[in-house]
């Protein structure tokens, strides 16, 4: 993604293979991509100049076209139960919300994947906003990287604004970086992706990720679910359940179902 505040491309959110393409184009040594990834996700630098094991000439060449591209939250609000809500501005000058939820045995971060949502669920405030745009991989990861509690986060749930499997490429890349040894190195068993059941995206998610799955069910009866969730017409829950039944959820991978008591 190109930063709106400059004409440079953002490095934060690039997978190791994407960084390799960049370093190859700049004729850097093969190991440079891994070095950059470690600076971005392990040491969490804010500028290319801080990548001190790159030569001065390499940093200069990289700086001509790229920036790190992390951003701080624009506002913060703490609820009476201790939940901390952060507001972030996206590269498209829209806003998303992230919630840090401290508990006795875990600290969960609830992240957004889109600005608005296409699914138009009747009980969801985000759905009533309509869809505005997808978040980039970097904008998803920035919600973890740029909060003061970043190092305290033990679990991540994709249950904020948007339908994660409708922004599949960005979400899968974010999951790769969150769990990779060059990235945040979280266990996939500490990450839960929630979906209303986008069937094509669900199949690819199950194939390419080992993270937990949460299905927004809310009503098991077709006609009643359709009234709550218009997506039931094109993504019927029966087909979603059929796909889940066919999948191997061994090795401690979990599927759960979400249900609002109206």
Residue ranges of the chain that CATH labels 1.10.150.530: 9-67
Q: Does domain 9-67 have CATH number 1.10.150.530?
A: yes
pLDDT mean for each 10 residues of the chain (262 residues): 74 98 97 98 98 97 97 97 97 95 97 96 90 97 98 98 98 99 98 96 96 95 94 95 91 91 72
Identify the pLDDT of residue 184. 98
Residue ranges of the chain that CATH labels 3.20.20.70: 75-258
Residues 6+ apart with CB under 8 A from 152: 102, 107
Identify the pLDDT of residue 249. 84
d(CA 43, CA 177): 14
Identify the pLDDT of residue 4. 56
Angle made by CA atoms 96, 98, 100, in degrees to the nearest 5: 170
Backbone torsions φ then ψ of 140, nearest 5 degrees: -70, -50
Angle made by CA atoms 49, 14, 188, in degrees to the nearest 5: 120
The model's pLDDT over 126-174, given as tens digits with 9 standing for 90+, comes to: 988 899 999 999 999 999 999 999 999 999 999 999 999 999 999 999 9
Identify the pLDDT of residue 5. 63
Distances (CA, A) of 199 to 7, 72, 124, 166, 235: 37, 35, 21, 10, 7
Interaxial angle between packed helices 168-179 and 199-208, expressed in degrees from 0 to 180 and rounded to the nearest 10: 20
The pTM score is 0.95
Which alpha helices (DSSP H) does the chain contain, by range?
A: 16-25, 32-41, 56-65, 125-129, 137-145, 168-179, 199-208, 222-228, 237-246
- What class is the 75-258 domain? alpha beta
The model's pLDDT over 184-195, given as tens digits with 9 standing for 90+, comes to: 999 999 999 999
Identify the pLDDT of residue 114. 98
Identify the pLDDT of residue 261. 77
Task: Calculate Rg over the CA atoms of the chain.
Answer: 19
Residue written as token pair 């199949």 = 203
């Amino acid at each position: 993604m190109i930063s709106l505040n400059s004409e440079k491309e953002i490095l934060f959110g690039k997978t190791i293979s994407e960084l390799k393409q960049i370093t190859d184009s700049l004729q850097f040594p093969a190991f440079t991509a891994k070095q950059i990834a470690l600076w971005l996700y392990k040491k969490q630098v804010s500028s290319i100049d801080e990548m001190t094991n790159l030569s001065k000439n390499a940093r200069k060449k990289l700086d001509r076209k790229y920036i790190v591209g992390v951003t701080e939250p624009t506002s913060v609000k703490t609820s009476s139960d201790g939940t901390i809500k952060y507001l972030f501005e996206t590269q498209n000058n829209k806003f998303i919300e992230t919630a840090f939820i401290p508990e006795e045995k875990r600290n969960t971060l609830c992240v957004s994947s889109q600005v608005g949502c296409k699914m138009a669920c009747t009980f969801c405030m985000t759905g009533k906003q309509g869809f505005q745009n997808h978040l980039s991989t970097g904008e998803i990861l920035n919600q973890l990287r740029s909060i003061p509690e970043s190092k305290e986060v033990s679990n991540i749930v994709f249950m904020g604004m948007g339908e994660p499997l409708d922004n599949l490429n960005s979400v899968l890349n974010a999951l790769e970086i969150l769990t990779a040894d060059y990235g945040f190195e979280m266990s996939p068993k500490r990450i839960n992706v929630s979906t209303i059941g986008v069937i094509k995206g669900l199949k690819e998610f199950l194939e390419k990720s080992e993270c937990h799955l949460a299905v927004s069910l809310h009503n098991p009866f077709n006609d009643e679910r359709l009234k709550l969730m218009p997506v039931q017409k094109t993504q019927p829950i029966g087909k979603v359940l059929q796909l889940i039944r066919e999948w191997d959820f061994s090795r401690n991978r979990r599927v759960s179902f979400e249900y609002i008591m109206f």
